Chains A and B, each alone.
Chain A
Amino acid sequence: ETGVTQTPRHLVMGMTNKKSLKCEQHLGHNAMYWYKQSAKKPLELMFVYNFKEQTENNSVPSRFSPECPNSSHLFLHLHTLQPEDSALYLCASSQERGRGGEQFFGPGTRLTVL
């Protein structure tokens, strides 16, 4: 892929489970993003981190909790999800937020909530 890795690639969880998605970028970038991609819907920006600080939360339900311990790692903690949260979750990174640089995407985690 592109220097952005995501684990796991597939995840099936029940509505009462707690799980975490991990993203790591090896590109020396300073901005990281979580997107949700659902069938038949546009790509939805969820969270943005710039230099480890969260700069955007696009009205995402609190059952999704992001964490960015350093510029290379980004997590998305999941708890008490709903079936409609089933989607492909994509992580991306860029040199810096909003400076015209392209974003590089990981392969995604396919999440299924039962």
Chain B
Amino acid sequence: AQSVAQPEDQVNVAEGNPLTVKCTYSVSGNPYLFWYVQYPNRGLQFLLKYITGDNLVKGSYGFEAEFNKSQTSFHLKKPSALVSDSALYFCAVSGDNYGQNFVFGPGTRLSVLP
């Protein structure tokens, strides 16, 4: 069965500093990995995904994530945080065996301080 861990409930970073939101996963087969962001009273918005290929994936709003197979991690990064990046971030995984559903992590709240 798949599982996702986001070890930090809350991440605080100063505006302009780099940010990292951590995600580790467990899945049978090869992983499909995703990051989503949720702003207050909104649905989840897709940021980026890893299916295969280059381990560094670039997504929306300047975010990127690095797939590390040996560490089973898929950390979300951004070189320079903006106050508007403050939101709830979810990592999700599914496997490449047909029919596997998404499993979402518990979420990490990112606060970017001006």
Contacts and interface: CB of A to CB of B under 8 A. Distances in A.
Given A55-B99, A103-B46, A42 B94 contact: no
Interface in A71-114: 90, 92, 97-100, 102-108, 110
Contacts of B46: 2, 102-104
A6 to B, nearest CB: 8
B22 to A, nearest CB: 16
Nearest to B90: A43
Interface residues of B, number: 24
Contact of A98 (B43, B45, B99, B104): B99
A102 B34 contact: yes
The 10 closest A-B pairs by CB, nearest first: A105-B43, A98-B99, A100-B32, A43-B104, A105-B44, A42-B106, A107-B43, A102-B46, A98-B100, A100-B51
Interface of B: 32, 34, 36, 41-46, 49, 51, 90, 94, 96-102, 104-107
Nearest to A45: B101
A1 B32 CA distance: 24
A48 interface: yes
A106 B43 contact: yes
A48 B46 CA distance: 19
Given A97-B101, A110-B41, 8 more contacts: A4-B43, A41-B106, A42-B107, A43-B90, A90-B43, A100-B96, A102-B34, A107-B41
